[in-house]
Amino acid sequence: MSKFSDFRSDTVTRPTEKMRKAMAEAVVGDDVFGDDPTVQKLESIAAKMMGKEAGLFMPSGTMGNSVSVKVWTKELDEVIIEERSHIYNMESTHLTFISRVTPRPLSSNRGAMDPDEVERNIRKPSVHIPRTSLICVENTHNNLSGAVVPFENLKAIRDVADKYELKIHYDGARTFNASIASGISVKEYASIGDSVMFCLSKGLSAPVGSLVVGSRDFIDYARRVRKALGGGMRQVGVLAAAGMVAITEMVDRLKEDHERAKKLALAISNLPGIELNPEHIQTNIIIFGFNHPKLSIPAFLEEMKKREILASAAWGGIRFVIHKDVDDKDVEKAIEAFQEILTY
Ligand SMILES: Cc1ncc(COP(=O)(O)O)c(C=O)c1O
């Protein structure tokens, strides 16, 4: 095991022993022929959990999002999306590359787009301009420090979508984190989206995989789009078996990640160079501005690395992410390193 404390992302989590055992023992078939019982079971549990008719296993969150956008849109359409969202910024522009739609990015208050602004940005039908067909929301919001988007805000955006008969895709890569932090069930959050994507391979620690859930018709078409993009997988029950452990046994422990993130944020927020309001840390992601008189961001990260701590640069600042494979000792080690490096 590496002695590095790895705070770069919650995607670095290793599968648990139970996951490895479940993978070894998984009953599998050929999922492209529709006969892998383990992936079918996971898809059906996921759909039920989220209050939807059907589910579809995806190799990644990015493919879950790209397939969903593709299903809901046509070329010449426009998609309303939050300006710092993962789909808009970090998925190699599948909006334009795969769906061939125009993104219409809107600013937000910590992930919450203003519903009136959303409404104002819906295009009126015209031959000159694109047709608005989809709104994408993200919760928790990765690039805004894991912010939990208030449910009332999501609901208000849902009302706007209903008024104009638009679809909503809910990027819930970390919807379980949102639920643990807010007490609002994942099913309630999922009610916001016509389609919902969530990840198994972040805080929930599965090695691979995401799910998309929605109506039966949506999933039937999404399955075809997934195949067209090369995402039809064969004995995928091996991966689904780990995913099953992720959603049935790994959710409650996310609370520990949130507590550790808060502890770290509170301990560092007053140190020289750190621009961080610890009250904004609601889940497992800490992104802070960095403006130190003696150290650049790369120099700071290098100093951390010398102390066997990994973190990353993000949005002109620095990101620390808490997950299963960093514990209290790693957090203490990081706090000590912050104090040592930044105090002058
Ligand atoms: C909010 C959000 N959506 C989607 C994704 C994409 O997931 P993947 O890395 O599995 O493609 C991520 C990844 O970090 C994410 O943070």
pTM above 0.85, yes or no: yes
DSSP state of 272: T
Partnered with residue 78 across adjacent β-strands are 102, 132
* Regions of the chain with pLDDT less than 50: none
Specify the pLDDT at position 211. Answer: 98
Compute the half-sphere exposure of residue 310: CA atoms within 13 Å on the CB side of its CA. Answer: 12
Q: Whose CA is nearest to atom 9 of ligand 1?
A: 61
124 CA from centroid of ligand 1 (Å): 32
Give residues (CB < 6 A) around ligand 1. 60-62, 65, 86, 138, 142, 171, 173, 199, 201, 210
Q: Extract the tokens encoding 302.
A: 């290098």
Question: Which H/E stretch holds residue 255?
Answer: helix 254-268
- The pLDDT value recorded for residue 2 is 62
Residue 187: enclosing H or E segment and its boundaries?
helix 186-190
Cβ 286 vs Cβ 319: under 8 Å: yes
Question: Among 108, 199, 201, 287, which is best to mutate for testing ligand 1, by the most ligand atoms less than 8 A from CB?
Answer: 199
CA-atom Rg of the chain in angstroms = 20
- pLDDT value for 3: 86
Task: Look at residue 130 and give its three-state secondary structure.
Answer: coil
Query: Which pLDDT belongs to residue 344?
Result: 81
Mutational test site, ligand 1, from 62, 65, 82, 200, max ligand atoms within 8 Å of CB: 62
Q: How far apart are the first and last CA of the chain?
A: 34
- Mention every residue, 6+ apart, whose C-beta is less than 8 A from residue 283: 140, 146, 147, 148, 174, 177, 178, 180, 181, 254, 257, 258, 261
Question: From ligand 1's centre to the CA of 173, what distance in Å?
Answer: 6
Q: Whose CA is nearest to atom 4 of ligand 1?
A: 61
Residue nearest to atom 16 of ligand 1 (CA): 142
Question: How many whole angstroms from 84 Cα to the centroid of ligand 1?
Answer: 13
Q: Which atom of ligand 1 has the smallest separation from the CA of 9?
A: 14
- Residue 185 is predicted with a pLDDT of 98
Nearest CA to ligand 1 atom 6: 61
Residue with token string 């391979």: 201
